[in-house]
A and B are shown apart, each in its own frame.
Chain A
Amino acid sequence: MKLHEYQSKQIFSKYGIPIPKGRVAASASEAKQIAEELGGMVVVKSQVLVGGRGKAGGIRLAKTSKEAEEVATQILGMEIKGLPVRKVLIDPTANIDQELYLGITNDRGARRPVFMASAAGGVEIEEVARLNPEKIIKVHIDPLLGLRDYQARDIAIGIDLPKEYWKQFVDICRGLWRAYTECDATLAEINPLVILKEKSLLALDGKMLLDDNALFRHPDLSEMRDVDEEASAETEARKYGLSFIKLDGNIGCMVNGAGLAMTTMDIVKLFGGEPANFLDIGGGAGADKVAAAMRIILTDKNVKAILFNIFGGITRCDEVAKGILAALKEVKPSIPMVVRLVGTNAEEGKKLLADAQMITAETLADAARKSVAAAKA
């Protein structure tokens, strides 16, 4: 789950990391009022869950509160990479001496958290990693011991941070470490962390990604999810415990198991078609789940055929077939459907579906070929 900049910075602030004194606004008049309270020049920042906001014109300066209102009006009417801007953050501007990067993420390969820092902040870290990998300092943290102060000092030394800032920098590292562990983040990033002309450090921008699997123990954080920023079908699917991702093709796929669902998409493409979605209905899918999945697939008007690929293991094919029949009664789709049932109780399943006017297939390749043909017909 992604958090907005303003949400991430609020969390950082709770852990003692200094952030600008701004607030978030949902309307231009609100933006004006905040700018008035702050006084002086402000920066109006669109709050959308994609990178490259600055380049898209979603981050702009305003000298007066009146100008803040005008800028906010424009930004609140924008779409950035397809996402409408619904909120803007109004922050006071800062007198920047230098921009740094500081972040923590999970290093899959090392199986440990890793602190990353760079004296070249303000640009995306992936960009720095690509162009100047030697400019990134990495320090792995023992997950059982946590961050040690000396490690934070090592990072400061590694990015040539002047001594006078070390103490504040170590405090910020500690705060970021606590935010990362206590929120079950997979990324906690300050970019840029700036050295102000006033000789102190400030977290100008922030980003957090949270582990979806850990949200059960963070009800307060779960509530921060911005469902406006998700494809509505994905939100709907989550309600039914389905894993769904929309793609751009015209062949809807309904599969049990994530690996097999990906493979089904791949094989559709291999045989000249374009998958419309990824969908894992999981094990033991009953009629309600199958019907929900079918409705979700059919909300996409591009879909010209549906491919059911079910491998019965513990999940029995006859149970899934019953689910499909019940769902057909309820949803009544008018497009061709290809079904492949293999494994436990496949024969019983096929018998149940014999009258349902579905195209049947034996192998994966056969199913892919038939669904590609059906979508073109």
Chain B
Amino acid sequence: MSILVDKNTRLLVQGITGNEGLFHTQQMLEYGTKVVAGTRPGKGGEWVLEGKVPVFDSCKAAVEATGANASIIFVAAIFAPDAIFEAADAGIPFIVCITEGVPVQDMMRVREYLDQKQVRLLGPNCPGLLTPGEAKVGIIPGNIAIAGNIGVVSRSGTLTYEVLYALKLEGMGATTCVGIGGDPINGTNFIDCLSLFEDDPHTEKVVMIGEIGGTDEEKAAQFIASKMTKPVVSFIAGLTAPPGKRMGHAGAIIEGGSGTAAEKIKALEAAGVKVAKHPEEIPSLLK
């Protein structure tokens, strides 16, 4: 079992003919994900990857022809908001945006619109998600995780890979690993994922990886204390990050004294969450 994606996911790749799009479509197909269609305006009617995936001019045409029920976006930041709107208007209920560097005001308009349509977005600036053994929707390397009973949710990319890998070395696996992305305004957040893991019968424990910036970890801590029965282990990156500097991710910044790692760790510990001092400590805290 899993959350958000599984072997029944029928995936559409927006921007399938670009370098990134093509490379990761190949990787996703090799993993066993059902990639049913791709889009690239002007290349409708063509096929990519030796005839494995048909290309359409629009999301609407792709959905009508293939019944795609999820989409993943690999287009440049300048085109990403439009790609999200297009997927939502084509009736796709779950959209994953890998693209980094989408302007934040665009994201506020996107979020407002998607909330009204009740469409779920993951990202942007995220590695996507992986349900080991069933589906990989995104760029998380498939070989670093095994199937298991731990739900993983994270704001980071390679840091998440570290954690999945550390779990695998201990023979521990994931139900689903979700990368929610490092932008200040995103689609799916920690609480959305914690809630889905709480309701997923196969998830027994949850790992939550946060970082400096914003107050989503603090809100998650409140949710964990009041709503969750399953144990949560956490790691928060950025204890040594200086204030006022953006640490790579657009959302990773301590502003006006708020968003520090110390505050987040304090809130999580107060909610009964075990917080690891470094990522390699996580497996032992799960035992």
Chain A positions near chain B (C-beta within 8 angstroms):
106, 108-109, 111-113, 126, 129, 142-144, 181, 184, 186, 211-214, 216-217, 243, 245, 247, 255-263, 265-270, 275, 278, 280, 311-314, 342-344, 363-365, 368
Contacts and interface: CB of A to CB of B under 8 A. Distances in A.
Given A278-B248, A365-B280, A343 B144 contact: yes
Contacts of B238: 262, 266
Nearest to A274: B240
Contact of B158 (A113, A214, A257): A257
A258 B160 CA distance: 11
B161 interface: yes
Contacts of A268: 240
B109 A143 contact: yes
Contact of B241 (A265, A342, A365, A368): A265
Contact of A275 (B109, B157, B240, B251): B240
B211 A259 contact: yes
Interface in B96-155: 101-106, 108-109, 111-113, 139-141, 143-144, 154-155
27 contacts: A106-B104, A108-B184, A108-B215, A111-B112, A112-B108, A113-B108, A142-B112, A143-B108, A143-B112, A144-B112, A211-B105, A256-B158, A259-B154, A259-B156, A259-B237, A259-B252, A260-B157, A261-B247, A262-B212, A265-B241, A269-B240, A312-B141, A314-B27, A344-B143, A364-B279, A364-B280, A365-B278
Given A313-B158, A343-B161, A144 B109 contact: yes
Interface in B151-173: 154-162, 165
A308 B158 CA distance: 14
B102 A213 contact: yes
Given A186-B104, A365-B278, 5 more contacts: A143-B105, A184-B105, A217-B103, A258-B249, A265-B240
Q: Is the interface of B mostly helix, strand, loop or mixed?
A: loop
A259 B105 contact: no
B225 interface: no
A364 B251 CA distance: 25
Interface string B58-74: 00000000000000000
A181 B240 contact: no
Contacts of B277: 270
Contact of A257 (B77, B159, B165, B185): B159
A318 to B, nearest CB: 15
Given A109-B214, A261-B248, A213 B77 contact: yes
A343 B106 CA distance: 35
B161 A311 contact: yes
Given A108-B185, A217-B78, A245-B245, A263 B159 contact: yes
